Structure 1
Amino acid sequence: MIGVFMFLIMTRRLSALLALILVPLVFALIAGFHAELGKMMMDGVKLLAPTGVMLTFAILYFCVMTDAGLFDPFIRLIVRIVKGDPLKVLVGTAILGICVALDGDGATTYLICTAALLPLYRRLGIRLQYMATVLLLSIGVMNMLPWGGPTARAASAMKVDVGELFMYLMPVMLCGLAWVVLVSALFGLRERRRLGIVSLDLSDEMAQRCAVGDARYLFNAVLTLALLAMLILGTLPMATLFMIAFALAMLVNFPHLKQQKEIIARHADNVLAIVSLIFAAGIFTGILSGTGMVDAMSNSLVNSLPASAGPWLGVITALISMPFTFFMTNDAFYFGVLPILAQTAASYGITPMQMAIASLIGQPVHLLSPLVASTYLLVGILDLDYGLNQRASLKWAVGTVFAMLAGAIVFGAVPLAQALGG
């Protein structure tokens, strides 16, 4: 099922929206799950419904902030620094993505970075696919922060302290981040050769929007900072925080009913394209889990490993974490597959801490999974084809994994001595 899905979207024979609905539906019918099909699909949709609501209002909120001019001073600062040089723009994209991703949330990172950088990319003519790939790589590494999700899952599954796990992860993540900056520089050099260094001035486009010091601008800045702080602290569910922030932003910046209708209508296409993909992904997720496909993949993996693979289980876990977190949810991998692998690895002297580290190294590839909602947001904002984005970004994401795996081996976070007889 997964192979057919990937083939159809990467060769552009079906859109991601249609493939997410029709491919799992056909395979579930072939497998004989006629009676349970409706419940499986609705379970998947319900699972992703909060994400769909959150993204709806998050997109609208940041669109309102962009229309109101909140990011204009930041864009002007970037323009002064980069001076129309695509190399500086792309390296700056990586650095900005890494900094914003400190909150561990991909959707927020994509919204903030695209809002700040998209006018610059369009004016310079830089390929938007490069922005998408660099941001995906950035969040792929930064998602390993303790509050990002996967690290907490790995720590819980292996019963190790999450703080101690993060201390071992830090040098591994630094290797991954170095690779991200290197890739962004490579992209930048390509675009510099193609475009040259462009004279740039965005002041005319921003002249009509509120300036720093205006009461409205100060309100927008305070509201956005408060929103980000509450998102990080988990004061309220993300969906409700964005709903409240959007309502306040509209009331202050566009108080007239006609203006509000125009703003929503202007951005409705973008919202619908992304949110429809989220709910379609719910169908895919529901059938993948409900039919038992996830459990079957897990059992097949464990049963197929030969006894001679035991000493290599640290490295093997790091490598298989790429396809397995791509094809299944993080919960299924960390709570279903990892404990079984760790139990076998323990007899070869590989510790739970080492297995937890190894299991996290495949996270950059996980970000390209059809089960990750935030990736639909990114390609939707940049108006990129989902399948082409996967094809363009996958090799660089795999490169990030190998950079982190090399660092983990060098720093001793993932054992190799047992496998080599040391």
Structure 2
Amino acid sequence: MLSIIAFIIIATIVALLITQKVHPVIALTIVPVAGALIAGFGFEEISDFFSEGIASVLPVVIMFIFAILFFGIMQDSGMFNPLIHNMVKISRGNVILVAMVTVIIGGLAHLDGAGASTFLITIPALLPLYRKLNMSPYLLVLLIGLSASIINMVPWAGPLGRTAAVLGVDAAELWPPLIPLQIISIILLIGFAAFLGWMEKKRIEKEGLLINTDNAGMFESNINTGSESEGKNLERPKLLWFNLLLVLIVIISLVTNILPAGLIFMIALCIGMLVNYPDAEVQKDRLASHAPNALMMGSIILAAGTFLGIMDNSGMLESLAEDMVSVLPAFIVPYLHYVVGAFGVPLDMVLNTDAYYFALLPIVEGIVSPLGVESVEIAYSLLIGNIIGTFVSPFSPALWLAVGLAGIEMGRYIKYAFFWIWGFSLVILLVGFLLGLY
């Protein structure tokens, strides 16, 4: 009975998340509570499940809120703008080099872990360049999406935070083993971008559209971070090196785990605000500007804590896992995390991020971990297999923004990018295996 109720709860949540009939907070809260009541648990027991679930995700929530606020302030200060400007100039209109530089720009812009701001910064900056060179805007979105997906393994981005919430650990603890993978992945992606750029150049030549790139000045690009007047008022070019140093100190502190991740970002936010915007009214305005994104993610993680607390502490997840093991072919069970990881990108087409991490990951972990596989290894395989496909899924709001900014069609983009992205994800999954992550 517990297995049946658990399956219905998960299926209902997945269906609600996929169809986007309700907000994730509603699905992750109401459905498990109703399921627990149907299963015969009383209010006192459900309260205990809730408390334990919230306690397990609270550090993740704190980190998310203050990380988003901190990087939002860094974005306001214009810290990334000169870096992106210089990268655009370096490319000098060479199609292959432009494709390679696009990867670097996408990675730099995504250091805040927010897909929407990444596309808002990079696509308006690079689209004129792509148009002048007759390069495909589909290639632009593909390369930025792949680069952002690799950087998306940082602990203040969504996937690792959700994984940490499921495992009940600090996201900052999961990140250090992923750093070598990120570095290798970016290097591989630059090489992949060179290949795609070479193909793009051949296409342009075939269509007779290749242009003279001797005049590098024609490839200047404007970076837009909001309304022009507001952006100029908020930018702090004289504090660029201070802000870069502050971000570097934050990253080193996270890697060395010198303090809890949430406290690191709280301190960094306060320092960044005091130095860049000493006026109290401006500080209030900047916090109000970024608070909706921070609170949105925080509320989803807290709701996920409710879901996980009920499913785990009630025994429903364990019961479902045991019953699933009994029906799966025995030879598949020990390798289930590899199988799911390998199909992570296709699964992104039918499951959104919340459904993948909050519904599928706990089931796979519950099935495979009793066989002696570490929970963190299971999580890494699912994370790495799926995260590369973040920005090819129609369930990604940031991708819809990218499609709109680039003036392309979602269906054509998925057709153009899907197999490239899936193939690249399999390569990265193999690299993770060779690095001993799972």
Instruction: Give me the TM-score of the superposition, normalised by structure 1.
Output: 0.62
Cross-structure match for 2:338: 318
Cross-structure match for 1:348: none
Residue deviations 1:116-172 (CA, integer Å, cap 9, x gap)? 6632224556689858853574257899xxxx8999xxxxxxxxxxxxxx8xxx89x
The 2-side partners of 1:317 and 1:257 are apart by 50
Cross-structure match for 1:262: 285
The 2-side partners of 1:95 and 1:14 are apart by 36
Structure 2 residue 300 is the aligned partner of structure 1 residue 282: no
| Larger CA deviation: 292-301 vs 229-238 | 292-301
Question: Would the aligned equivalents of 1:62 and 1:115 in 2 still touch at CA under 8 Å?
Answer: no
The 2-side partners of 1:209 and 1:221 are apart by 16
The 1-side partners of 2:285 and 2:376 are apart by 50
Q: Out of 325, 330, 341, which is 2:371 matched to?
A: 341
Question: Would the aligned equivalents of 1:364 and 1:397 in 2 still touch at CA under 8 Å?
Answer: no
Shift of 1:246: 0.8
Cross-structure match for 1:220: 243
Shift of 1:6: 1.9
Q: Structure 1 pair 32/15, CA: closer, same or farther in 2 (3 Å)?
A: same
Structure 2 residue 146 is the aligned partner of structure 1 residue 134: yes
Q: Out of 24, 29, 33, which is 2:37 matched to?
A: 29
Q: Out of 97, 111, 123, which is 1:121 matched to?
A: 123
Spell out the pairing of 1:17-96 with structure 2 (5 A cutoff).
17-35=25-43, 36-81=45-90, 92=101, 94=103
Residue deviations 1:272-329 (CA, integer Å, cap 9, x gap)? 222222222222222221222321232123322445x2xx666555114668984569
The 1-side partners of 2:360 and 2:368 are apart by 13
- Name the aligned partner's letter for residue 13 of structure 2: F
Structure 2 residue 100 is the aligned partner of structure 1 residue 110: no
Residue deviations 1:43-74 (CA, integer Å, cap 9, x gap)? 22222222222121111111211222211211
Instruction: Determine helix, strand or coil for the equivalent of 2:113.
Output: helix
Structure 2 residue 234 is the aligned partner of structure 1 residue 243: no
Q: Percent identity?
A: 25
Shift of 1:359: 7.9
Question: Would the aligned equivalents of 2:116 and 2:398 in 1 still touch at CA under 8 Å?
Answer: no
Cross-structure match for 2:351: none
Residue deviations 1:94-119 (CA, integer Å, cap 9, x gap)? 5567799xxxxxx96615x8766632
Cross-structure match for 2:24: 16
Residue deviations 1:76-111 (CA, integer Å, cap 9, x gap)? 1233245789997776565567799xxxxxx96615
The 2-side partners of 1:94 and 1:253 are apart by 29
The 1-side partners of 2:49 and 2:421 are apart by 31
Instruction: Determine helix, strand or coil for the equivalent of 1:25.
Output: helix
Question: Would the aligned equivalents of 2:381 and 2:429 in 1 still touch at CA under 8 Å?
Answer: yes
CA root-mean-square deviation: 5.5
- Name the aligned partner's letter for residue 236 of structure 1: L
Instruction: Determine helix, strand or coil for the equivalent of 1:362.
Output: helix
Cross-structure match for 1:234: 257
Q: Structure 1 pair 48/405, CA: closer, same or farther in 2 (3 Å)?
A: closer
Question: Would the aligned equivalents of 1:54 and 1:242 in 2 still touch at CA under 8 Å?
Answer: yes
Q: Structure 1 pair 118/149, CA: closer, same or farther in 2 (3 Å)?
A: closer
Q: Structure 1 pair 11/242, CA: closer, same or farther in 2 (3 Å)?
A: same
- Name the aligned partner's letter for residue 28 of structure 1: A
Question: Would the aligned equivalents of 1:211 and 1:217 in 2 still touch at CA under 8 Å?
Answer: yes
- Name the aligned partner's letter for residue 368 of structure 2: L
Instruction: Determine helix, strand or coil for the equivalent of 2:21.
Output: coil
The 2-side partners of 1:275 and 1:59 are apart by 10
The 1-side partners of 2:336 and 2:303 are apart by 32
The 2-side partners of 1:249 and 1:405 are apart by 37
Instruction: Determine helix, strand or coil for the equivalent of 1:21.
Output: helix
Instruction: Determine helix, strand or coil for the equivalent of 1:27.
Output: helix
- Name the aligned partner's letter for residue 275 of structure 1: G
- Name the aligned partner's letter for residue 12 of structure 1: Q
The 1-side partners of 2:123 and 2:101 are apart by 12
The answer for unaligned runs of 5 or more in structure 1 is: 101-106, 152-165, 343-351, 370-374, 414-422
Shift of 1:337: 3.9
The 2-side partners of 1:3 and 1:108 are apart by 34
